Amino acid sequence: MREQLKSINRETYEKWSSEIARNVTLTNDWKIANTIGITISGDLEVDTLGLIEKAWSEGKTVCTPKCEHTTKEMNFRKITDYNQLEIVYFSLREPIIERTTPIPHDEIDLLFVPGLAFTKSGYRLGQGGGYYDRYLMNYKGKTTSLAFELSLIEELPIEHFDIPVQKLITNKQVLSCKG
């Protein structure tokens, strides 16, 4: 999957990411959400910067994950500007603790869960840290993953702790997942 995602040219990547963002903003989950939890996209992931800027322009609260590597836990912190981010391991951008405030999981209305590959039932292949698997155990709000259509696959190995997302949004469709 990594090789397939690396093969997407820049123009196609931007077009597909834009189509996904448009599909997201048409959903009721987006329209009624006041607070969204979303990662700052990295290599191989659907571009999230456009969605973040759209959320800000609509007056939504945006929070991004901060990972604690010693405990493998993650919390979300409110950002209002990209200057509140720092580059951490693997070139990921995370909130600077001193410049941001924590947002409790029960205040996040819509959580975007990243991944590399997805099944139509909402299971995902992440980057391997297990941060989202642990976070989702206590999260009760709406969950959505953003995926290029080519990231949809028939099946994945599923562990007992895997929690599927409720919705998958691609450049071609919006799927309600059964898990």
The answer to whether 129 is a known ligand-binding residue is yes
The answer to whether 40 is a known ligand-binding residue is yes
The answer to whether 166 is a known ligand-binding residue is no
The answer to whether 45 is a known ligand-binding residue is yes
The answer to whether 115 is a known ligand-binding residue is no
3-state helix, strand, coil in the chain (%, to 5): 30, 25, 45
The answer to whether 42 is a known ligand-binding residue is no
Q: Which residues share a beta bridge with 93?
A: 87
The answer to whether 131 is a known ligand-binding residue is yes
The answer to whether 123 is a known ligand-binding residue is no
The answer to whether 13 is a known ligand-binding residue is no
DSSP 8-state symbol, 141: S
The answer to whether 99 is a known ligand-binding residue is no
25-58 CB burial, b ≥16 within 10 A, e <16: eebebbeebebbbbbbbeebbbbbebbbebbeee
The answer to whether 124 is a known ligand-binding residue is yes
Residues annotated in the binding site for substrate, as ranges?
Answer: 40, 45
Residues annotated in the binding site, as ranges?
Answer: 40, 45, 124-132
Residues annotated in the binding site for ATP, as ranges?
Answer: 124-132
